[in-house]
Amino acid sequence: MDRIFIPTVNRPNDQITLNGLPKSLWNKVTLVVQHWERKKYKFDVDYLVLPKEVNLSDYYCLPKSRKIIYEEGRNLKYCVIDDDLVFKKRNQRRFGLPSDMEKSSKVCDDNDILEMFDTFTKWLDEKDVTMCGPSQIQNIPSTTLFRSNTSICGCFFINGKDFNHILDDLPLTDIRYGEDVLFNLSLLSRGYGNRVSQRYCFDNHSIKGKIEEGVWKDTKFNDVYKDHKKLQNYFPQFIKILLDEKGKRVKGGFRDFGKLRIEWSKCYKYSQNNFPKKVLTHNDVKVIESTKYDTLINEVNEVEKYELGFQPPKPPIKKSVYPFTLKVHIWSRGDVDKFCETISKNLSSDKPNFVYNSKPNKNPKFTEKRKNPFVKRTTHKERIESQLWKDTVEYWNDGWKSYITFQITFNNEKDLIHFTKLIKIRVSLNIPYISFPQRKPKKWKYWWVCKNKNVNPKYPIYVVSKNRGDSRLTIKCLERLKIPYYVVIEPQNYGEYKVVIDKKKILVLPYSNSGDGVGRSRNWVWDHSKSMGFKRHWVMDDNIVDFHRLYGNRKLPIGDGGMFRVCEEFVDRFKNVPISGLQYDFFTVDKLPYPPFVRNCRIYSVLLIENNSPFRWRGRYNEDTIMSLDCLKYNSKTPFDIKNYKQTNWSGDYCTIQFNCLLQQKSPTQKLGGGNSDEFYFKEGTYNKSKMLEVVHSDVSKVKYMYNRYHHMVNYLPFKNNKLKLIDGYDPKDNKSETDLFEFMRVKDYFK
> What is the extent of the structural domain holding 405?
324-436
Please report which confidence band the pLDDT of residue 592 belongs to, taking 50, 70 and 90 as the band edges.
confident
Is residue 411 domain-shared with residue 523, that is, in the same domain?
no
The pLDDT assigned to 428 comes to 87
Please report which confidence band the pLDDT of residue 145 belongs to, taking 50, 70 and 90 as the band edges.
very high
Is residue 650 domain-shared with residue 676, that is, in the same domain?
yes
Look at the pTM and tell me if it is higher than 0.75: no
The pLDDT assigned to 278 comes to 44
Domain boundary residue, one of 408, 436, 464: 436
Please report which confidence band the pLDDT of residue 275 belongs to, taking 50, 70 and 90 as the band edges.
low
Is residue 523 domain-shared with residue 536, that is, in the same domain?
yes
- Position 644 pLDDT exceeds 80: yes
Burial label, 31 (beta-carbon count in 10 A; 0-12, 13-18, 19+): buried
Domain contains 72: yes
Please report which confidence band the pLDDT of residue 303 belongs to, taking 50, 70 and 90 as the band edges.
confident
Mean pLDDT of 291-307: 85
The SS3 of residue 579 is: strand
The pLDDT assigned to 169 comes to 75
- Report the range of poorest mean pLDDT among 197-201, 658-662, 673-677, 686-690: 673-677
Closest-CA residue to 263 (of 184, 332, 210, 337): 184
The Cα–Cα gap between 239 and 264 comes to 9
- Report the range of poorest mean pLDDT among 247-251, 705-709, 713-717: 705-709
Is residue 430 domain-shared with residue 500, that is, in the same domain?
no
Is residue 228 domain-shared with residue 354, that is, in the same domain?
no
- Position 624 pLDDT exceeds 60: yes
The pLDDT assigned to 738 comes to 63
Domain boundary residue, one of 418, 436, 454: 436
The pLDDT assigned to 391 comes to 82
- Position 302 pLDDT exceeds 90: no
Please report which confidence band the pLDDT of residue 213 belongs to, taking 50, 70 and 90 as the band edges.
low
The pLDDT assigned to 731 comes to 81
- Position 401 pLDDT exceeds 50: yes
Is residue 456 domain-shared with residue 347, that is, in the same domain?
no
Burial label, 435 (beta-carbon count in 10 A; 0-12, 13-18, 19+): middle
Chain Cα centroid distance, residue 34: 39
The pLDDT assigned to 377 comes to 74
The Cα–Cα gap between 84 and 33 comes to 15
Domain contains 314: no
Alpha-carbon dihedral sign for residues 285, 291, 569, 237: negative
- Position 194 pLDDT exceeds 80: yes
Mean pLDDT of 324-349: 95
Domain contains 696: yes
The Cα–Cα gap between 229 and 451 comes to 12
Is residue 262 domain-shared with residue 290, that is, in the same domain?
no
The pLDDT assigned to 207 comes to 57
**Contact assessment for residue 231 and residue 175, using Cβ atoms and an 8 Å cutoff:** yes
Mean pLDDT of 572-593: 92
The pLDDT assigned to 214 comes to 55
Domain contains 319: no
The pLDDT assigned to 689 comes to 85
User: In the chain, what percentage of residues exceed pLDDT 70?
Assistant: 92
Q: Provide the mean pLDDT of the chain.
A: 89
Domain contains 315: no
Cis peptide upstream of residue 437 (ω within 30 degrees of 0): yes
The Cα–Cα gap between 561 and 28 comes to 41
Domain contains 311: no
The pLDDT assigned to 211 comes to 46
Is residue 499 domain-shared with residue 430, that is, in the same domain?
no
Mean pLDDT of 565-571: 93
What's the longest Cα–Cα distance across the chain? 112
The Cα–Cα gap between 327 and 227 comes to 58
Burial label, 510 (beta-carbon count in 10 A; 0-12, 13-18, 19+): exposed
Is residue 502 domain-shared with residue 457, that is, in the same domain?
yes
Domain contains 313: no
Mean pLDDT of 418-431: 92
The pLDDT assigned to 54 comes to 92
Domain boundary residue, one of 385, 409, 436: 436
Is residue 94 domain-shared with residue 206, that is, in the same domain?
yes
Is residue 272 domain-shared with residue 207, that is, in the same domain?
yes
Mean pLDDT of 631-644: 94
Closest-CA residue to 582 (of 560, 601, 554, 562): 601
Domain contains 317: no
Write a three-state SS string for 483-549.
Answer: CCCEEEECHHHHHHHHCCCCHHHEEECCCCCCCCCHHHHHHHHHHHHHHCCCCEEEEECCCEEEEEE
**Contact assessment for residue 105 and residue 137, using Cβ atoms and an 8 Å cutoff:** yes
- Position 419 pLDDT exceeds 80: yes
Mean pLDDT of 84-112: 95
The pLDDT assigned to 51 comes to 92
Mean pLDDT of 301-326: 80
Is residue 222 domain-shared with residue 115, that is, in the same domain?
yes
- Report the range of poorest mean pLDDT among 387-391, 423-427, 479-483, 733-737: 733-737
The pLDDT assigned to 607 comes to 98
* Number of compact structural domains in the chain: 3
Instruction: Give the CATH number for residue 175.
Output: 3.90.550.10
The SS3 of residue 387 is: helix
| C-beta neighbour count of 214 within 10 angstroms | 18
